[in-house]
Structures are given as C-alpha cells and as structure tokens.
Amino acid sequence: MRDTIRLLGALSLIGLASAPRAQLSELWSVSENDLVMSWLWPDLNGDGVQELIMEDGVGSWFYDGASDYEQVWYVEDTNSSANTIFGLWLQKSGWCVFRQQNSTDQQARLHVYAASATTESWNTGLLPGNITEGGIGDFDGDGQLELAWSWHSWDGGAWTSHWTVRNLATGAVELAVQTGAGYLSGPWPGNVEGDASEELLLNWYWNSGLSQLICWGASDTALAPLAPAAPDLQTWPNPFNPLCHIDVAAEAGVGSVGIFNLAGQEVRRLPLTSQGRTNLIWDGLDQRGRPAASGTYLVRAGGHTRPVTLLR
C-alpha cells in the first residue's frame, strides 16, 4: 500500500514537471513623449474588457484593447493655457469627472461628462485655488449620485479651503459652498454610519493650530454637520512675532476686534469691514503705531476672547 502511494506521488510530480508553462514576454510597446501617461480604465463600451487611457495634460484618449486598440473616446481641454494640467480625476457608474488645474495661478475647474459623450454635461466654472480631494456617492439618500470636492488657496501666509456638493448628473447645488480658514483634507466618501446613504469625512487643519475630524451626512432635512464647526475666533501663531493672524466669524453688530493688555486697557482696535468669516492681522503695534511691549494680550470680538503672547 505504501509503495502504491509512493508510486502515485511520483507520477503526480512527473506530471507537474512535464506540464507546459506560459512564459512571460513583452507583447507590444509604443513610443511616448515625456508628457504622456498611460493606464487602464474600467470597461467603457460594455464589452467586458478594460480600456487603455493615454493622457498628455491637454487631452485624454481611450482605446479598446479587444478591438485592436481602436480609439473609442477622446476628451480635450478646450480652455488649455500655460501651466494648466487636464486629465481624468474621478469616475463612477458611467460618469467621468475631468480636472483642469493651474497650480501656478491657483485656478481650477471640473468638467463632468457622461461616458463616451461628445460634450460635457456641466462644469464648475473657474475656482480660486487648487482642487484637492473629492468623491462620488449618494450622500443624501435620494438614490442619485452626488459629486463632493474641495479646493484650497494659499494667501498671505495662511490657507483658505472650500468644499461643496452637487448633483453629479445635473450640477444642481446640493450643499452650498462651505469655507474655512485652514487646510482641508477631504471630503472622503464612505458608509461610516452603516445606513442607506454614504457619509463624508473631512480633516480640517485650522490655521489656529487646532485640527478636527468632521463627519457630514444625511439628516431628516438636509446635510448637516455632526461635529462642531470652526471656532468663532481663532488666533495664530501663538506666541507670535511680529504678526498675529486673527480669524473671526463676524456677527451682525460686531464692528471691530479689540486687543487689550492684562490690565484691561485697550491697546489696538481693528475694524471689521464685512460680515462672515474674516482674516485680520495685528502687526504688534498699538493704536498710535508704537511697538507694543512683550507680554500676553487678549483678543476680543463679540463675546469671544483669545489670549495671545507677543515675544520681542
């Protein structure tokens, strides 16, 4: 019996050793210039085979490998300019989002196409900044897909970030633009709550040095934050020298920001020229233009107070 088992095992090994094996080898190659990048794209024409996409920063070409690499779609940046990069950014369920970005001039735009369409369905218009992250999903539970994305800009030594949500097919606004003084990483889509709709996670790195993870999702009425928003009064850096940034959510009737020493004496008053979130700068000078002494001061706006320390 043991001899029979050994014989069967030996025959099996012989069979394995003699079975033909496929050899890896180069199938084909094409020349590319240094501006072209190529990669695989999910099945575009429904034949069960992935397409090859080639991009050069101005246009995107789609080729069908099952049909001798016939070109099946082409999308071109019709507003191309110097320092602008254009390419496929997101896709889901037959919809494609192309990103047009000029990092030098801090301008960007998204173009939304139905797959294989010759014209775009809609675009975001020119946005002041660089588009960072985004995603596609059903965020309000209405059975339709939405597009959520963010963009940010660097101005005067501080970040300003924005994000919004629109209907993917029509471009209709689902959530008005949200703006904050800081750098936003996200929104990241996913089903965090385990319900019928997806949620959006946002990592806010406020210019004040604080950071928050915020989850947005569908409520009974509309998209609503599930965590506190940015503080109404922020200051940074702390300690500072020579400039202190003051980010304030100006309320109706609040016309200025006051800076006081610890004795309660007003050192400087900075006017607020508009309502909404505003960024001011205290240059460390008092109301007469003289350098304030080193020490701790209180920044006050409305009913909010922040201590800051000036180091000379």
Above 80 in pLDDT, residue 58? Answer: yes
Q: Which residue has the higher pLDDT, 274 or 59?
A: 59
Q: Please say whether the beta carbons of 298 and 306 come within 8 A.
A: yes
CA distance 7 to 70: 54
Strands in 103-243 per DSSP E: 107-114, 122-123, 127-128, 130-137, 146-155, 158-167, 173-180, 182-190, 199-206, 211-217, 224-225, 233-236
Above 90 in pLDDT, residue 110? Answer: yes
Q: Residue 140 — pLDDT band, cuts 50, 70, 90? A: confident
Above 70 in pLDDT, residue 103? Answer: yes
Confidence (pLDDT) at 5:
40
Percent of the chain with pLDDT over 90: 28
Confidence (pLDDT) at 18:
55
Closest CA to 139 of 203, 206, 186, 88: 186
Q: What is the helix (H) or strand (E) element at residue 12, kind and residue range?
A: helix 2-18
Confidence (pLDDT) at 123:
94
Above 50 in pLDDT, residue 8? Answer: no
Q: What is the mean pLDDT of residues 217-223?
A: 56
Confidence (pLDDT) at 271:
87
Confidence (pLDDT) at 216:
87
Q: What is the mean pLDDT of residues 79-92?
A: 86
Tell me which of 48-57, 286-295, 298-307 is least confident.
Answer: 298-307
Q: What is the mean pLDDT of residues 108-123?
A: 93
Residues paired with residue 75 on neighbouring β-strands, in sequence order: 60
- Residue 16 in 3-state DSSP? helix
Given the structure tokens 């997101």, which residue do they identify?
90
Q: What is the mean pLDDT of residues 139-155?
A: 91
Confidence (pLDDT) at 275:
67
- Residue 6 in 3-state DSSP? helix
Q: What is the pLDDT of residues 221-267, one digit of tens each?
A: 344 443 344 447 788 887 888 888 888 876 645 578 899 988 888 99
Above 70 in pLDDT, residue 78? Answer: yes
CA distance 13 to 229: 67
Q: Residue 79 — pLDDT band, cuts 50, 70, 90? A: confident
Task: Read off the tokens for 96.
Answer: 């494609």
CATH topology of domain 233-310: Immunoglobulin-like (2.60.40)
Query: May I ask the CATH architecture of the domain 129-230?
Result: Beta Barrel (2.40)
Residue 251, Cβ density class (10 Å: 0-12 exposed, 13-18 middle, ≥19 buried): middle
Confidence (pLDDT) at 235:
82
Percent of the chain with pLDDT over 70: 87
- Would you list the domain boundaries of the chain? 129-230, 233-310
CA distance 86 to 111: 10
Residue 73, Cβ density class (10 Å: 0-12 exposed, 13-18 middle, ≥19 buried): buried
Same fold, 129-230 and 233-310: no
CA distance 157 to 169: 37
Full-model pTM: 0.64
Upstream peptide bond of 271 is cis (omega within 30 degrees of 0)? no
